[in-house]
Amino acid sequence: MTTASNGKTNIKVSTLIFDVDDTLYDAECGFSNHRNTQGAPLFMQEFLGLDQDTALEIRNKYFSKYHSTAKALAVAQDDGVFGDKQFKQQDLEEFFATRLEFDMLGGPKEQLATDLATCSCRLVAFSNGPRAYVKRVLKELGLSQVFGDDKLFAVTDTLPACKPEKEAFDKIFEAFGIKAEDSIMVEDSMKNIIRAKELGLYTILVTGKPIDDDHRNDDAPDASHPAVDLAIESVQDLKHVMPSLWATPPTFQVSSKSIV
């Protein structure tokens, strides 16, 4: 740990943990809003026999608390919300991986793939989405080679826990041998950023551009929050804003207030 001429401290780091949705692609593309307000309710209509308005109401009620459609519907199932219908994780996983409008993602992010492939840190993807769905998103973004099966942790791997629950983070720490004190969480969700900071990770918030119909509502990015060590508008800005992560050894510049 050294102090740079600008008064910031260079921290040696080893691991970058990336959220996927609205982090590895821009929220303004509308894909997450489509998944949440159209995809999830349609799944609930087809598999759980609900009408559109009821499906959306139930999904939003439980998602606001559990921050993952997979966990939200599992808890709703336990609460008896679906009557004699049975919610199955594998049905949601297949539906999300095959029935959503993936063209909205805008195709492969070639420069991002090149940047991440040459980063000096170990890279891990950590998502609240089902594994097959997350793999499809990464494929559409051209990032499958960056985040292969051995570098991916999905809600499929953490249930019954999910982000921002500590138990979900504990599972990925154990699986990958991650040490919080030399790792960085790259996220768009404030709930997850705050939890990551509480657990001792450094944080990079991906704010995205302001959008009118922001599906994240009370979880929308807040760059002024004290849990945020660095805020960037797009993950594609990361190498330009923090080139030290591509150095050998990789380091992260943080203000002294971020060091405990």
* Residues 34-93 pLDDT 10s: 999 999 999 999 999 999 999 999 999 999 888 899 999 999 999 999 999 999 999 999
Say how many CA atoms lie within 13 Å of 160 toward its Cβ.
Answer: 5
Ordered per-residue pLDDT tens for the chain, 260 residues: 444 445 578 899 999 999 999 999 999 999 999 999 999 999 999 999 999 999 999 999 999 888 899 999 999 999 999 999 999 999 999 999 999 999 999 999 999 999 999 999 999 999 999 999 999 999 999 999 999 999 999 999 999 999 999 999 999 999 999 999 999 999 999 999 999 999 999 999 999 987 655 555 678 889 999 999 999 999 999 999 999 999 999 999 886 444 33
CA distance 23 to 206: 6
Q: What are the E-state strand segments in 93-141?
A: 122-126
DSSP 8-class letter at 222? -
User: Tokens 């939200």 label which residue?
Assistant: 72
The string of DSSP codes covering 90-113 is HHHHHHHHHSS-GGGG-S--HHHH
CA distance 203 to 45: 38
